[in-house]
Structure 1
Amino acid sequence: MKKIKVITLLVTAALTSAISMNALSATITEKKSNEPFKDIQNSYAKDSIINLHSKGIMNGTTSELFSPTKKITRAEFITTLVRLLRLEPSSSMIPAYKDVAPTSWYYGSIQTATELALTEGTGGAMFEPSKPITRQEAATWIIRALKQKTTNSSSSTDYTDNSAIASWARPYVSTITKLGLMKGSEGKFYPNQDITRQETAVLLDRLLQNNSWSTVLESTTQASKIQMGWQYGQTNEEYEQSIMKSNVNVLSPRWFFLESDKTIKDYTNSSLVTWAKKNGKKIWPLLGNRSSQETTHQFLSSSERTAAAIQKIKSLVTKYDFDGINIDFENVLPADRENFSKFVSSLSEQLHSIGAVVSVDVSPDLGSDWTEAFDYRLLGQKADYLVLMGYDEHWSGGSTPGPVASLSWVQSGLDTLLKQVPAEKVILALPLYNRDWTLNRNGTAVSSEDISLVDQDEKLQRLGVRAIWDSKLGQYTGDYSKNGITHRIWLEEARSLSLKYRMATDRKIAGFAYWSIGGETTDIWTSLRNTERYASYSFK
């Protein structure tokens, strides 16, 4: 009987052990099945890989493999970094690099990073997307992405292989080391060593462990800036369709005009008003003077005419429940400076009493008769917003060819205005048009033709124009020949507009306006959204 009992106990123990082993095996199998890739079980970066994959930041080399020990390419790294920053791939029309085709899977991410000045490629308009990224290159991109301040380029690091670190990379290596994101080994940084995909995962996951930074990146709330779009040359239906594809939240149709009889005429279209309210858009109809200097002078010189006009505008704003108006008086005599300021002041007082805002379009202060009529400081005190028309640096009919709005010119005009008007009352208007210049053999202008950005892109594609980036202007230039005559275009597109947008956003202005809606290629809106989002990040 004892033998039978012992055998029974042994069998029972064996069965229990087998069941336990099966349960453990099932648990391990289930754990492996929950991992996104087959080949990360023995990787020191396994947890980081899983975390980044769950957030949609890093993908595998296939649907089942991560390839942790494989070197990561420049294209893969910048794509991962753009995802980490929660930015959209840009479909901008002009490739920034000769070796990055618009059909490549990484095109959008490289364009986005370039538009935000996170990278400039490897020189000569090349990016070398398939080349592995080195440790010093990775350090540079990350520190730029985090907007961290660095020391000057001649500084040295504490690594014993400091001489092997490129001079341009030393500030970034020094900063990333101090932040604890990258460290060397045995006193060396190994700047030219390629990094692997698992090293990248650990590095970026370490970045996300900073609660302050991860909170910034995961934030879904952004201050809503004014995005005003003027209607010009489009039917209401065309305008509505363009608005729905854009970032615009304030419509400015051309509905109020000072006519030759010195009275304000109303051309409001009620159907567009209804559509705007239905789609959550504000309306600031434009009040224009048709650039008539004489009519404007006679109007501003009469207190009775201006008083009557102000009451009519007030009644129209009330009738249609407009949110405000946009005053666009151009070609005003310097002698009318005081009267123009009085008109804006009185109109602002009346519209403020009914909860409507007043915005006034002004040109950059060039110290000429064209802008002498604008008392920027007083207008800024009385109106809610001044809209700086950041274009026409070189204008149609001018003898000197050049860009419509180079970065330095727009920045100079904006900074000059900000000395007299608070940033929260300034809106920067950007051009959705350009000029095709016909040149003499000596490079002077013969003539120029206004073109939309859509027309510009069509010409580039049809004529095979090679666009060359000019970092000083913040623009591409493109030449082509027609009937033996040279044409040149200083291009406005996603990259150039993004640079101007970021420059202005850094100055914390109230918003932007666009002349005019319908002239743009739709890709620019993605680029400007990226610029807006990235500008909102503050990594401390």
Structure 2
Amino acid sequence: MKDAYNRSFKSSSKLQFHKSIWILFIFLIVIVMIIPSIIVFGAGANFVHMNGFLPASSVSNHNQNQIGLASPQKSPLEIGWVEGSGTIMQHLTDYNNLKVVSPALASVDNRYNLQENSNPTLINTIHQQGKKIWARIIMQTDTKSNDHAFLANPTKTQAVINKILQSVKAENWDGVNLDIENVSIQDRNTFSQFVKNLSSGLNKSTAILSIDLPPDPSVGNNNQASFDHELLGKYCNYVFFMGYDQHWSTDSVPRPITSLSWLKENLQEFIKTGIPSEKLILGLPAYTRVWEQNQQNHVVKDPAEPIQSVENLVAENHRNMTWDSTLGEFYTTYTSQNLQYKIWLPTEKSFNLYLNLIPQFHLAGSAVWNLDQMNSAYWNKIF
């Protein structure tokens, strides 16, 4: 009986030993193969969540799924263009939720060479405040004839692209914001080719490519417009709709520089003509105009003034304001010293309506032109 018990005990021990070996083996497989995959996946997901966008090297501009771009599920991008490079660069942390700044750090001169005004101190100052830098590229003389001469010269355009790519690496730019606005219809294809070539070069880096576009002059007919929405939406990571200057300083009749109905109309047009909504960024003005008309109803002056300054002017002079729900802003008119003044004034209430277009149209975010005209206190009321 005892021997039988011993044999049974030994047999049971062997089974338990082999079972333990198998459990240990399976456990090691889990450790070696599965857990690292979980870590890599989790880290990647966390990177996307924290940054809200991916660099061009991580997102194919030809991929219409746009993996990693800002979406309604992520926090929208808040971007501020900067016209100068003065003291405002030292106080970017005062702007709540500001993620990206876009100063004009390079321009194409009249001999079609790229001239930089970037410097390591400026770049470090911006980065140390936790902001990304999308360097804005402009034309020194942005006219249709000058833009045509540049775009019609493939040697010059490629040289500019090469210089931009060098600057992205050497100057530690996080992205490029292309701001060439006076392209004629005859240069539609050469401009698209320029953007395509720039995009191809940037895809080898970690830099974002964005572009600033005005609305089509003829809504609903992008085939006859200067900027090919479908191609530009394909090759750029982001497209800024410049939602201001609905009416220009050269207009003979005073009108608003932006409005809710006009913003909606153009966003719908951009999306309909081929720009993915998740790539669209709504550009908004930090200024409005104070239109002055003489007794013959001719516009004699229409200075662009910061919105908060005009708000103070209206309040100090006790002017009555009328809300226009279609425009999404206030309006006032009054006479002083034989001049008639007309003002369309976006306020905090207006910006709330404008920014509601982001979730409504599933946009990537918003931008303000420009931070030099909007102090942090006013920005923080909006964002």
TM-score range relative to shorter protein:
0.7 to 0.9
Larger RCO (CA under 8 A, 6+ residues apart)? 2
Q: Bigger CA drift: 412-421 or 433-442?
A: 433-442
> What is the SS of the residue equivalent to 1:464?
coil
**Residues 1:479 and 1:460: Cα distance change in structure 2 (over 3 Å):** same
1:242, 1:520 → 2: CA distance? Answer: 12
Q: Give every structure 1 segment of 4 or more consecutive aligned residues whose post-TM-superposition deviation is greater than 6 Å.
A: 368-371
> What is the SS of the residue equivalent to 2:303?
strand
How big is each residue's C-alpha offset from its partner over 1:169-195, in whole Å with a ceiling of 9 and x where there is no partner?
xxxxxxxxxxxxxxxxxxxxxxxxxxx
CA contact (8 A) 1:453 1:521 kept: no
1:415, 1:489 → 2: CA distance? Answer: 27
Find the partner of 1:457 among 311, 315, 318: 311
1:506 maps to which residue? 360
Matched, 1:470 2:321: no
Find the partner of 1:382 among 235, 258, 274: 235
How big is each residue's C-alpha offset from its partner over 1:473-496, in whole Å with a ceiling of 9 and x where there is no partner?
110112232212110110022111
2:248 maps to which residue? 395
Q: Identity of aligned pairs, percent? A: 31
Q: Which runs of 5+ in 2 are unaligned?
A: 1-71
**Residues 1:243 and 1:433: Cα distance change in structure 2 (over 3 Å):** farther
How big is each residue's C-alpha offset from its partner over 1:343-368, in whole Å with a ceiling of 9 and x where there is no partner?
00000110111121110100112228
1:508, 1:527 → 2: CA distance? Answer: 23
2:345, 2:194 → 1: CA distance? Answer: 38
Question: Shift of the alpha carbon at 1:526?
Answer: 4.0
1:450, 1:521 → 2: CA distance? Answer: 16
1:184-195 equivalences under 5 Å are none
1:362 maps to which residue? 213
So what's the TM-score if we normalise by structure 2?
Answer: 0.75
CA contact (8 A) 1:236 1:272 kept: no
Counterpart code for 1:267: N
Counterpart code for 2:149: Q
Counterpart code for 2:147: T
Question: Shift of the alpha carbon at 1:457?
Answer: 2.4
CA contact (8 A) 2:295 2:338 kept: no
2:3 maps to which residue? none
Question: Shift of the alpha carbon at 1:282?
Answer: 0.5
**Residues 1:463 and 1:269: Cα distance change in structure 2 (over 3 Å):** farther
1:364, 1:517 → 2: CA distance? Answer: 22
Max radius of gyration: which structure?
Answer: 1
1:250 maps to which residue? 100
Q: Bigger CA drift: 466-475 or 314-323?
A: 466-475
* Matched length: 308
2:64 maps to which residue? none
1:247, 1:480 → 2: CA distance? Answer: 37
**Residues 1:304 and 1:504: Cα distance change in structure 2 (over 3 Å):** same
CA contact (8 A) 1:239 1:518 kept: no
How big is each residue's C-alpha offset from its partner over 1:396-454, in whole Å with a ceiling of 9 and x where there is no partner?
01012111111000110111001121111111100001100113557664431111113
CA contact (8 A) 2:277 2:361 kept: yes
So what's the TM-score if we normalise by structure 1?
Answer: 0.54
1:487, 1:522 → 2: CA distance? Answer: 28
1:479 maps to which residue? 333
CA contact (8 A) 2:89 2:125 kept: no
Q: Which runs of 5+ in 1 are unaligned?
A: 1-220, 530-540
CA contact (8 A) 1:229 1:252 kept: yes
How big is each residue's C-alpha offset from its partner over 1:266-304, in whole Å with a ceiling of 9 and x where there is no partner?
110322210122121110010011413322211111111
2:79, 2:208 → 1: CA distance? Answer: 13
Counterpart code for 2:170: K
Counterpart code for 2:192: S
2:159 maps to which residue? 308
CA contact (8 A) 1:435 1:449 kept: yes
**Residues 1:448 and 1:515: Cα distance change in structure 2 (over 3 Å):** same
**Residues 1:243 and 1:387: Cα distance change in structure 2 (over 3 Å):** farther
Counterpart code for 1:485: L
2:291 maps to which residue? 437
Matched, 1:515 2:366: no
